[in-house]
Amino acid sequence: MEFTFYKYQGTGNDFVIIDNRETFFPKEDIALVAKICDRRFGVGADGLLLLENHATADFKMVYFNSDGNLSTMCGNGGRCIVHFAKFLGIISDNTTFEAVDGMHEATINNNWVSLKMNDVEKINASENHTFLNTGSPHHIEIVSDLENFDVFNNGRSIRNKIYGKEGANVNFVEKLDTAKFSVRTYERGVEDETLSCGTGVTAVAIAMFEAGKTSENTITLKTPGGKLQVRFKKKGSHYKNVYLEGPAIQVFKGIWK
Ligand SMILES: N[C@@H](CCC[C@H](N)C(=O)O)C(=O)O
């Protein structure tokens, strides 16, 4: 089966993106998706995205983790597919598209994409961690010396011991400044640390505001792959107008054989 694919990265969270408007891609083939995402036997990526037609919105986003399974919302993938939609000429600078967690609005200015995320209502805060869902489920823990922290082993253990088969993504955080936090994430479905996680940094920004670690509502998140920005408005106990913003870059185009 031969098809064209595009390789993208958003702060080092990397994706294979395929134009599936003609619905040729075999979505049920978990092994094929996993092979495309394999860094030795395939293209190599944290996930695979399909851009598909939508009856009312500009397009539909379908997201698979690198293990080949369909998953929940991917914030960095969402930003990258907006860039891809513009590259294909489907949109200009504004768009509305549907992902697994509902409709999203986004704007693009050169390689900078601002993606509106879903409102957040439920936040579970306990003594040493916070859990919330920003389209994908996220566990958040503050640690010290994040640079030397063992994200892989601690993340894997929390993901499996606390969240079981369904799992969750695990974010470790260190405060750098009034409105700046450093974040490293262990992602379920990749089962490894990734260089950045969009829904993860969104969850971290809200969790830090909720915990009183910042009083700013525009927050910079430093990940190993680069900087992202999250802004929101808190109304009562709800977080609304949540935007994830940062770069989305097309890296190369290839043909899968
Ligand atoms: N990297 C993503 C998150 C992708 C989903 C996650 N692995 C899951 O299955 O929950 C992002 O940028 O949000």
For the stretch 214-254, pLDDT in tens is: 999 999 999 999 999 999 999 999 999 999 999 999 999 99
φ, ψ at 145 (rounded to 5°): 50, 55
Query: Do 93 and 197 lie in a common domain?
Result: no
197 noted as active-site residue? yes
CA 246 to ligand 1 center in whole angstroms: 16
Query: Do 142 and 113 lie in a common domain?
Result: no
Q: Give the per-residue pLDDT at 39.
A: 98
Q: Give the per-residue pLDDT at 103.
A: 98
For the stretch 150-209, pLDDT in tens is: 999 999 999 999 999 999 999 999 999 999 999 999 999 999 999 999 999 999 999 999
Q: Tell me whether residue 10 is exposed, middle or buried, using C-beta atoms within 10 angstroms of its C-beta: 0 to 12, 13 to 18, 19 or more.
A: buried
Query: Do 113 and 127 lie in a common domain?
Result: no
CATH number of the domain to which 7 belongs: 3.10.310.10
For a ligand 1 pocket test, name from 11, 37, 64, 72 the mutation site with the most ligand atoms within 8 angstroms of its C-beta: 72
CA 15 to ligand 1 center in whole angstroms: 11
φ, ψ at 198 (rounded to 5°): -65, -50
Q: Which residues contact 105 (CB under 8 A, 6 or more apart)?
A: 94, 95, 96, 115, 116
For a ligand 1 pocket test, name from 69, 71, 166 the mutation site with the most ligand atoms within 8 angstroms of its C-beta: 71
Query: Do 223 and 174 lie in a common domain?
Result: yes
Q: Give the per-residue pLDDT at 44.
A: 98
pTM for the full predicted model: 0.98
Query: Do 68 and 129 lie in a common domain?
Result: no
Q: What is the number of domains present in the chain?
A: 2
Determine which one of 33, 74, 106, 173 is catalytic: 74
Query: Do 82 and 136 lie in a common domain?
Result: no
The neighbour count for residue 117, using CB atoms within 10 Å, is 25
Token readout for 228 is 């992202």
CA 158 to ligand 1 center in whole angstroms: 16
Quickly tell me which residue has 């940062």 as its tokens. 246
Query: Do 112 and 33 lie in a common domain?
Result: yes
Determine which one of 32, 80, 106, 197 is catalytic: 197
Query: Do 107 and 128 lie in a common domain?
Result: no
Domain span at residue 33 reads 3-117+248-256
DSSP 63: E
Query: CA dist 237 to 147, 200, 232, 240, Å?
Result: 33, 20, 12, 10
Residues annotated within the binding site for substrate are 13, 65, 75-76, 169, 187-188, 198-199
For the stretch 107-155, pLDDT in tens is: 999 999 999 999 999 999 999 999 999 999 999 999 999 999 999 999 9
CA 72 to ligand 1 center in whole angstroms: 7
Query: Do 83 and 149 lie in a common domain?
Result: no
Please determine, for the modelled complex, whether the ipTM score is greater than 0.90: yes
Q: Give the per-residue pLDDT at 34.
A: 98
